């Protein structure tokens, strides 16, 4: 069955790229609503469904834009939290153009969602089953969706900085794996990239308090890493959030190599462009038990650093 939040939960912070303050309120929503953002700071409070066909390509974040040109950016972390906690319907009020970065991970969102709790709705849950391999690429980077009975994420990265280097991780995302393994992993960047972005009016809200900043073999962020492979874990977090713009849980294996937001959106567009590559399935108890977020509890949060 579909779910929504039992009660609303609010978050406040600064946007990573805009540097602007914003308040985000996750609210319960009826069955079949999906995930919808609402810009409460604008006349008419325009809505933006969190769907792949409303995503504007960006290498730095995932940004939605509606037909009137209204945008909400950096949605990937809250989307990952919703997917990883098994929330299928939510109205997200936001009073600015960018979702706050908070600590650079999805952990704060996850804690708020788990505290709010979920309500089961009297409507069947449908998932997207991948039926055949779909692959997209951009130079050395590629992403692929292939058939699987659960959502699985297999990710590899390769950075020159020794503090990151080559990392690879594979996870079955069923039964709270996101909360235990990925949700506290923070966004990361090179110190030289921070200087470049600031000089070009980007990452205006970025600090060593909300991102892992590296310089060669050094981690400049106070406290160091939360996981030895925190970088690849964060890329998997991003991938889960971006995949949730499909509009429903996905049953399939996502493989990413040096992939980012733009490639994952390109992959979803390729999937939905081929009607033979996927189908809707109604989730019975057996299928539902394999979805991300099923069975998530406070005990799962205790495993998070």
pLDDT at 57: 82
| 77 is annotated as an active-site residue | no
pLDDT of residue 48: 98
Q: Is 114 found in the same domain as 18?
A: yes
Torsion, Cα 62 64 65 66, to 10 degrees, reads 160
Per-residue burial over 120-130, b if 16 or more Cβ lie within 10 Å, else e, is ebeeebbbbbb
Assess whether 142 and 106 both reside in one domain: no
Q: What is the pLDDT along the chain (305 residues), one digit of tens a residue?
A: 999 999 999 999 999 888 899 999 999 999 999 999 999 999 999 999 999 999 998 878 999 999 999 999 999 999 999 999 999 999 999 999 999 999 999 999 999 999 999 999 999 999 999 999 999 999 999 999 999 999 999 999 999 999 999 999 999 999 889 999 999 999 998 887 777 666 666 655 667 778 899 999 999 999 999 999 999 999 999 999 999 999 999 999 999 999 999 999 999 999 999 999 999 999 999 999 999 988 787 777 776 64
Which residues are bridge partners to 22 per DSSP?
13
Domain with residue 132: its CATH number is 3.30.1700.10
Q: Which of 57, 85, 120 is the last residue of a domain?
A: 120
Q: Which residues neighbour 47 within 8 Å (Cβ) at sequence distance 6 or greater?
A: 36, 37, 38, 39, 66
Domain shared by 84 and 152, yes or no: no
Residue in 17, 77, 234, 261 annotated catalytic: 261
Alpha helices for 205-260 (secondary structure H): 230-243
Long-range contacts: 39-42, Cβ < 8 Å, 24+? 39/70, 39/72, 39/94, 39/95, 39/97, 40/93, 40/94, 40/95, 41/94, 41/95, 41/96, 42/70
* 90 and 191 co-located in one domain: no
Backbone angles phi, psi at 116, to 5 degrees: -65, -35
**Which of 234, 268, 233, 266 is closest to 252 using CA atoms?**
268
| 3-class DSSP state of 52 | helix
Same-domain pairing of 242 and 94: no
Choosing from 120, 137, 156, the residue where a domain stops is: 120
Say if residues 153 and 236 touch (Cβ distance below 8 Å).
Answer: yes
Return phi, psi of residue 85, to 5°.
-100, 0
CA distance 169 to 236: 8
Say yes or no: 24 and 158 in one domain. no
**Do 17 and 156 share a structural domain?**
no
Residue where the block lists tokens 């692959």? 135
Domain termination residue (choose one: 54, 86, 120): 120
**Does residue 19 sit in the same domain as residue 115?**
yes
For Cα atoms 116, 121, 99, give the angle at the middle one, nearest 5 degrees: 45
CB 237 within 8 A of CB 74: no
- Residue 42's domain is classified under what CATH number? 3.30.230.20
CA–CA separation, 113 and 145 (whole Å): 28
Q: Which of 38, 27, 50 is nearest to 96 (CA)?
A: 38
So what's the pLDDT on residue 60? 85
Of the CA atoms within 13 Å of residue 283, those in its CB half-sphere come to 25
Strand-pairing partners, residue 3, are 120
d(CA 67, CA 254): 30
One domain for residues 116 and 130: no
Look up the domain containing 229 and give its range. Answer: 126-302
Domains: count for the chain:
2
Same domain, 68 and 154: no
Query: Same domain for 23 and 152?
Result: no
What is d(CA 135, CA 108) in angstroms, rounded to the nearest whole number?
Answer: 33
Together in a domain, 54 and 22: yes
């Amino acid at each position: 069955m579909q779910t929504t939040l039992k009660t609303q939960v609010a978050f406040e912070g600064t946007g990573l790229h805009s540097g602007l303050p914003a308040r985000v309120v996750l609210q319960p929503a009826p069955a079949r609503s999906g995930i919808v953002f609402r810009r409460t700071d604008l006349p008419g409070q325009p809505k933006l469904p969190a769907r792949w066909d409303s995503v504007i390509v960006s290498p730095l974040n995932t940004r939605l834009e509606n037909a009137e040109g209204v945008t909400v950016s950096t949605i990937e972390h809250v989307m990952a939290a919703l997917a990883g906690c098994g929330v299928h319907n939510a109205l997200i009020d936001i009073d600015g153009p960018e979702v706050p970065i908070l600590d650079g991970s999805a952990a704060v969102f996850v804690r708020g969602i788990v505290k709010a709790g979920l309500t089961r709705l009297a409507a069947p849950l449908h998932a997207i089953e991948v039926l055949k391999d779909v692959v997209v690429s951009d130079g050395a980077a590629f992403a692929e969706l292939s058939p699987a009975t659960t959502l699985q994420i297999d990710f590899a990265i390769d950075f020159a900085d020794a503090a990151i280097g080559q990392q690879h991780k594979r996870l079955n995302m069923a039964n709270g794996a996101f909360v235990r393994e990925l949700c506290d992993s923070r966004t990361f960047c090179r110190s030289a990239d921070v200087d470049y972005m600031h000089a070009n009016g980007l990452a205006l809200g970025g600090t060593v308090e909300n991102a892992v900043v590296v310089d060669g073999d050094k981690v400049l962020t106070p406290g160091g890493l939360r996981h030895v492979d925190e970088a690849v874990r964060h890329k998997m977090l991003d991938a889960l959030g971006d995949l949730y713009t499909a509009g429903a849980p996905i049953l399939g294996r996502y493989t990413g190599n040096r992939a980012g937001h733009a490639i994952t959106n390109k992959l979803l567009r390729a999937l939905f462009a081929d009607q033979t590559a996927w189908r809707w399935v109604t989730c019975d108890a057996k299928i539902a038990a394999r979805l991300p977020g099923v069975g998530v509890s406070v005990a799962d949060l205790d495993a998070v650093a």
